[in-house]
A and B are shown apart, each in its own frame.
Chain A
């Protein structure tokens, strides 16, 4: 039983490749990865995943734009600036943000944020890559905060003391000594945030608008890998090329998150790694 996680991880890989590979009888690998048309139900079906890959990357980049400054500053705040009593109140707030189900974020995005953005920017729809980035950015904040807080508190006290003893202010110590020493942890936090966003399904499915075309602007609807799998798996009959193509999308997604995971592992020293 101890090896169950190894077993399941291998199982996932086997299933994804086993179910995903057959699609390459219908479409070549380069057509799949670089094709610009995703029309899985037309005849003949076209499986060009590029719009979906770019959609995922766009909302991930956009989400990080919101999540990184906010998460970085809040993480520094909790680790360095906040008085201990305040931390007892504020940490649960961040944790609660992490525990709100993603479907609730999606719901909030659809009924509150999307109309606001549509009216404010006078767009035809508020369901855009920008809206999705905003919501996904908020969702990624808690994991970023928690990794950054860990990274900063793991810096030895003596570093700070040495800097303060030389006459540096608290901020100078933080910005010249503590943050550089914690830089690999900060990198890990950003990458972990990216992994969270790229794998997020429900919120992005509801908020991003869902158009499987190559995004030309931040303010138009996009479709991500995750959303495509979630919305199309219901209608794809088992064993059809469409079904296999959706598993192939999952392979791409899995490889993305695997690479991000490996990067995080290498940035956080053994013994300080936690499952979040």
Chain B
């Protein structure tokens, strides 16, 4: 009898705790749901063809966000041009060349982890001091892309590394046994096999880069531009900075806040779309894997 009561109590404790765990997870889902609900319910009605294809008019109180969409795309592409080659070569060195106990490997890994922890606004300052001032690129697409590219380097290196590690050793051995040298093996065998993984990592970094504001505040973004940038040395508008600007600047919050909702919807949709593409791609790559 005592035994049985005791057991009941023990299971009661379990049920209480597991319910708390359930509730925490539900709370997280509710928070996400309410953020999306509030923004979508007020932002979707702002969005129409004009909103997506026109430039802002009348001191940011009317018109669309086309220059900000284009600006964000430029920054994303620019950052990839910076981070992809650096990331791929770093990852190749880390997985294929360096011996696991080499001190250089440790240094690189520590640097990657430290870099990943550096606050984004600090990258912004770095970009301001180096690219905007010292190199004289000014507040421009180029400065912003370089800054964002460096910032996304840890994510890109890590995901490329994981993709390379997923290629079985036997692939490399088969290629080497056929007389190919190391570089040919990497270039013709390892890289093609890991391409889907590399792309997935790249897509994930796009999602992050598109939403970053602090690194581009002093290096690339302005609240308003006349027309689209004509060269990499021109400043741009960008979606996240546009939202910030609509809330904090200007004199007509009654007209600007709805536009901010619309811009937020576009930015969230962009990020979600990027996520889904990455998830889909990863799944497809896994299914079609030949090993």
Q: Which residues of A contact B (CB under 8 A)?
A: 1-6, 8-9, 11-12, 15-16, 18-19, 69-70, 73-74, 76-78, 80-82, 90, 92-97, 99-108, 110-112, 138, 141, 169-172, 175, 195, 198-202, 206, 226, 229-230, 233-234, 238, 246-247, 250, 253-254, 257-258, 260-261, 264-265, 273-276
Contacts and interface: CB of A to CB of B under 8 A. Distances in A.
A80 B25 CA distance: 13
B56 to A, nearest CB: 17
Given A102-B211, A275-B158, A265 B119 contact: no
B193 to A, nearest CB: 21
B125 to A, nearest CB: 5
B268 interface: yes
Contact of A104 (B110, B123, B211): B211
B86 interface: yes
Contacts of A3: 90, 104, 108
Contacts of B272: 96, 99
Interface in B18-60: 18, 20-25, 27-29, 31-32, 35, 38-39
B20, B126, B268: which has the most chain A beta carbons within 10 Å?
B126
B172 interface: no
Nearest to B106: A270
B158 A226 contact: no
B252 interface: no
B166 interface: no
B28 A97 contact: yes
A103 B213 contact: yes
B126 A15 contact: yes
Contacts, number: 235
Given A5-B153, A11-B130, A101-B267, 19 more contacts: A4-B89, A6-B111, A12-B118, A18-B129, A70-B27, A74-B24, A74-B28, A81-B22, A93-B29, A95-B275, A96-B32, A100-B271, A101-B212, A101-B268, A106-B244, A195-B117, A229-B124, A261-B113, A275-B116
A85 B129 CA distance: 49
B77 interface: no
Given A70-B28, A103-B211, A201-B119, A9 B114 contact: yes
A265 B130 contact: no
B247 A202 contact: no
A172 to B, nearest CB: 7
A141 B32 CA distance: 11
B285 to A, nearest CB: 17
A226 B271 contact: no
B171 interface: no
B107 to A, nearest CB: 6
A252 to B, nearest CB: 11
A126 B85 CA distance: 46
A69 B94 CA distance: 37
Contact of A16 (B24, B92, B122, B155): B122
A84 to B, nearest CB: 14
Given A107-B247, A202-B244, A8 B150 contact: yes
Contact of B89 (A2, A15, A171, A199): A2
A202 B113 CA distance: 22
B286 interface: no
Contacts of B11: 169
Contact of A233 (B21, B23, B125, B213): B125
B115 A92 contact: no
Contacts of B217: 230, 233-234
Contacts of A78: 25
B243 A100 contact: no
A107 B245 CA distance: 11
Interface of B: 10-11, 13-14, 17-18, 20-25, 27-29, 31-32, 35, 38-39, 85-86, 89-90, 92-94, 97-98, 104, 107-126, 128-130, 133, 150, 153-155, 157-158, 207-208, 210-214, 217-218, 240-241, 243-244, 247-248, 257, 260, 264, 267-268, 271-272, 275, 279
B110 A265 contact: yes
Nearest to B212: A101
A201 B108 contact: no
A108 to B, nearest CB: 5
B115 A9 contact: yes
Contacts of B248: 206
A5, A257, A273: which has the most chain B beta carbons within 10 Å?
A5
A96 B38 CA distance: 16
B90 A77 contact: no
A113 to B, nearest CB: 10
B27 A5 contact: no
Given A4-B153, A9-B114, A141-B28, A202 B85 contact: no
A101 B213 CA distance: 8
Nearest to B34: A112
A250 to B, nearest CB: 5
A76 B13 CA distance: 16
B13 A254 contact: no
A101 B28 contact: no
